[in-house]
């Protein structure tokens, strides 16, 4: 009988190893980075969230990251935003463990309209780990921003594996080089394209050096993708990167029409095209060599 060889001669060993591992496992911490020095930087742990009176079990009918219905322990995000002192005019910067950085408008997170979608902060209980995300080895934990009602919420507005939340100025104020030229009228496709870019692309890509994430390349420096992709190929790449080129480490997600409509895709390309010209004209880009 082969397996008798593997009978432990110290029956207490697995128990000891288990308790060692659980003591060594770092407690999950979500750091809060307030806008002003007047407010102390604080941190929420899974334990503190679990003990919060507003913590409850919530249902997510259409989980963007798991692509199926999910159930979580969660608190209303507003609980944590209050600690952060975040106002509707501020931007919440949500930094993930993998370098993804979402910039979420305060007005979206703290809606005043009755019945508007409201975000929750789900936390992964240490004794009930979440499954791995589709195609990944890690779960969406330890902290994940979710929307029970996701009407009008974009796919990149569900940041997961959160490590830090900060209260910041809007991306356009922080990084003026990401803005369309002031002469571009309100409602212009190029301006609307910038809004799509800020919600769906800035989370991984900088543009003209503006932005916080370096997961993907800068999309205007040193060269804009509109300069080396045929428009049709660029559209395809945004819809499904693997249709243009593919390799094992490929990391960019595709965007289906329910996340970026055909019209918005045109607006996005108009924005990128404008930045390619405008960046050069305004001396925002290094001169071409």
Residue numbers at the binding site for ligand HEC (CB under 6 A): 100, 156, 200-201, 203-205, 215-217, 219, 225, 237-238, 241, 250-253, 255, 268
Taking the complex as a whole, how short is the minimal distance between the CB of residue 24 and ligand HEC, in angstroms?
Answer: 31
Maximum pairwise Cα distance, the chain: 82
Establish how many alpha carbons lie within 13 A of residue 156's alpha carbon, considering only the half-sphere containing its beta carbon: 25
Q: Which residue, 44 or 143, is less far from ligand HEC as judged by CB?
A: 143
Which of these, 255, 257, 273, lies nearest to 200 by C-alpha position?
255
Q: With respect to ligand HEC, which residue has the nearer C-beta, 15 or 222?
A: 222
State in angstroms the smallest separation of the CB of 216 from ligand HEC. 3
Q: Which is closer to ligand HEC, CB of 34 or CB of 254?
A: 254
CA dihedral 242, 248, 250, 251 (to 10 degrees): 120
Q: Which is nearer to ligand HEC, 209 or 216 (CB)?
A: 216
* Contact indicator for 8, 14 with CB cutoff of 8 Å: yes
CB 121 within 8 A of CB 49: yes
Our CB check for ligand HEC shows the closer of 181 and 252 to be 252
Min dist. Cβ of residue 159 to ligand HEC (A) = 10
Identity of the residue, 33 or 98, whose beta carbon is nearer to ligand HEC in the bound complex: 98
Least separation in angstroms between CB 242 and ligand HEC: 9
| Burial of 172 per CB tally in 10 Å (0-12, 13-18, 19+) | middle
User: Which tokens go with 136?
Assistant: 């990944």
CA angle 169, 173, 176 (to 5 degrees): 150
Structure tokens at 132: 């791995």
Q: Which is nearer to ligand HEC, 109 or 237 (CB)?
A: 237
Cβ 21 to ligand HEC shortest distance, Å: 31
CB of 163 closer than 8 Å to CB of 45:
no
Least spacing, CB of residue 47 vs ligand HEC, in Å: 30
Pair 74, 146: CB distance under 8 Å? yes
Interatomic CA distance for residues 250 and 234, integer angstroms = 16
Minimal distance in Å, beta carbon 11 to ligand HEC?
A: 47
Gap between the Cα atoms of 268 and 259, Å rounded = 13
């Amino acid at each position: 009988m082969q397996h008798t060889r593997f009978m432990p001669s110290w029956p207490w060993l697995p128990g000891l190893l288990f308790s060692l591992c659980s003591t060594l496992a770092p407690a999950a911490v979500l750091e809060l980075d307030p806008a002003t020095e007047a407010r102390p930087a604080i941190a929420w742990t899974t334990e503190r969230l679990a003990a919060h009176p507003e913590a409850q079990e919530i249902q997510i009918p259409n989980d963007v990251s798991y692509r199926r219905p999910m159930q979580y322990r969660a608190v209303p995000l507003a609980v944590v935003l209050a600690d952060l002192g975040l106002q509707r005019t501020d931007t919440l910067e949500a930094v993930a463990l993998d370098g993804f950085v979402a910039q979420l408008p305060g007005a979206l997170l703290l809606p005043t309209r009755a019945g508007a979608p409201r975000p929750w902060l789900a936390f992964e209980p240490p004794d009930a780990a979440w499954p791995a995300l589709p195609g990944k080895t890690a779960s969406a934990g330890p902290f994940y921003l979710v929307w029970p009602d996701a009407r009008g919420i974009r796919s990149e507005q569900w940041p997961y594996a959160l490590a830090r939340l900060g209260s910041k100025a809007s991306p356009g104020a922080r990084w003026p080089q990401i803005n369309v030229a002031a002469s571009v009228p309100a409602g212009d496709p190029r301006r609307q394209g910038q809004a799509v870019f800020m919600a769906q692309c800035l989370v991984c890509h900088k543009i003209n050096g503006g932005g916080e994430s370096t997961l993907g390349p800068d999309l205007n420096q040193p060269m804009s993708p509109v300069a080396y992709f045929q428009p049709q190929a660029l559209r395809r790449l945004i819809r499904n990167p693997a249709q243009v080129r593919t390799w094992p480490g490929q990391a960019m997600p595709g965007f289906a029409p329910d996340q970026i409509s055909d019209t918005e895709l045109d607006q996005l390309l108009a924005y990128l095209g404008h930045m390619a010209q405008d960046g050069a004209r305004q001396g925002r880009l290094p001169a071409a060599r």
